[in-house]
Structure 1
Amino acid sequence: MNDSAQERLRETGTENPAAAVVAMVDHVLDLAATWTAWDGKPAHVDDRVYTPHKAIRRVTDLPQALNSVRAGDTPILDHLAELEARLVGEEPQPDHWHASASTTEADLAPFTPEDLDEARSRLTRLARIWANRLGTLTEGQLDDSPAQGWSFRRLAEHLEESTYYADAVGRSA
C-alpha cells in the first residue's frame, strides 16, 4: 500500500477492507469532479501517460499480474471477479487487458459532465458491491482466503492504490 493510501486509511480510523475500497472510490471521484475542466493535455507520470478517461478505465477494469505488482495497477472489477471465482472454487479467468502502457483514442477525449455521471454511477456501485461482499466474510475468510493468491483483505487493501491513476491526472482548475 502506498503512503497516500495508508494515510487515507489512518484518516478513516479503520483498517476495514471495505472501508479501504470505499475510501479509494471517494478519493477518485473527488478528483474526477474537477476533470470536466481538464485542458486536454495528458499527464506524463513515471513512464506512462494519463488522462481522466484512462484513470477511470484503469481504476474500474484493468488488472495487473499479482506476481508483478506495479504501483497503482489495481483493478476494482478484475479483483472482484477473482474474489468471486475463488470463493466458489473456480480458477480466476485470465485477463487480456492492455494495461496502462496503452492509451486509446477514447482516453484522449474530453471528460464531460456525462462522463463524470457515468464514472460516479459505475464506481459507486462497484465500491458498494465490494463492501457488501466483504461484509459477508468472516475474519478467517478475509485473512485465510481460498486458493492461490493474496488474502481477500490484501486484495481490498491493494485496491486503495488505484488512487495512483487519479492522482496522476490530479485536480483540474
Structure 2
Amino acid sequence: MTTNPPEAPARAVTGMVEHVLALAATWTTWDGTPAHVDDRAYTPHKAIRRVADHLVDHLAELEARLVGEVPQPDHWHASATTTEADLAPFTQEDLEEARSRLTRLARIWANRLDALTEDQLDRSPGEGWTFRELALHLEESTYYADALGDLS
C-alpha cells in the first residue's frame, strides 16, 4: 500500500494565498455589509489584512526562533477589531494591491520553508509548533476569506 507524502509546507502557504486571492477577485462587487461569522465581522479589507498579518506574525516567529530569539508577542487582537478602513469599498486597485502583497509574502514563506531541511521543519528550535505545523496552521487563514466567500 502506498501513501501520499504530506503536503509540502511551502505549497500549504502558497495554496492558501491562491484560494484567498481567487475569492478576493469577486469582492469588487461587495455591497458594504460586513459578513458576521462566529463573533466577528469580516469585510474584504479586513480579510486581506488578517491574512497578511497572519503571514507576517508567524514569519517573524519563524525567523526569531531560527536565530535563537524569543518571538515578540502580538499584543493587538486584530481579528476582533474592525477598523474604519476595513469598511471602505474594495476596488480593483485594492485587489491588485492585495495580489501583490499576498503573493510576495507567500513567496517569502515558500523560499524560507524550501530552504529548511526536513529535520528543521520537524524539529524546529524554540517553543511552539514545528515549522511544518506552522505552515499548515497558516493554511487555515482561508477562514478569513471564506467568511466572505464568493461574491460574484
TM-score, normalised by the number of residues in structure 2: 0.95
Specify the structure having the higher radius of gyration (Cα).
Answer: 2
**Whole-angstrom distance in 2 between the partners of 1:17 and 1:118:** 25
Partner amino acid, structure 1, of 2:151: S
The unaligned stretches of length 5 or more in structure 2 are: none
Counterpart for residue 39 of structure 2 = 47
Aligned residue for 1:140, secondary structure, equals helix
Give a deviation string over 1:81-132, Cα, whole Å, max 9, x none: 1000100111111212222111100000000111101100000000000000
Partner amino acid, structure 1, of 2:39: D
The CA RMSD measured in Å over matched residues stands at 1.3
Counterpart for residue 105 of structure 2 = 126
Give a deviation string over 1:119-153, Cα, whole Å, max 9, x none: 00000000000000001100000000001110000
List structure 1 runs of 4+ shifted beyond 4 angstroms. none
Partner amino acid, structure 2, of 1:60: A
Counterpart for residue 114 of structure 1 = 93
Aligned residue for 2:41, secondary structure, equals strand
Aligned residue for 1:124, secondary structure, equals helix
Identity of aligned residues (%): 78
**Whole-angstrom distance in 2 between the partners of 1:14 and 1:123:** 24
2:28 is the counterpart of 1:28: no
Give a deviation string over 1:42-85, Cα, whole Å, max 9, x none: 10111110000000011111xxxxxxxxxxxxx11100010001
Alpha-carbon distance, 1:14 to partner: 5.4
TM-score, normalised by the number of residues in structure 1: 0.83
The unaligned stretches of length 5 or more in structure 1 are: 1-9, 62-74
**After alignment, is 90-99 or 146-155 more displaced?**
90-99
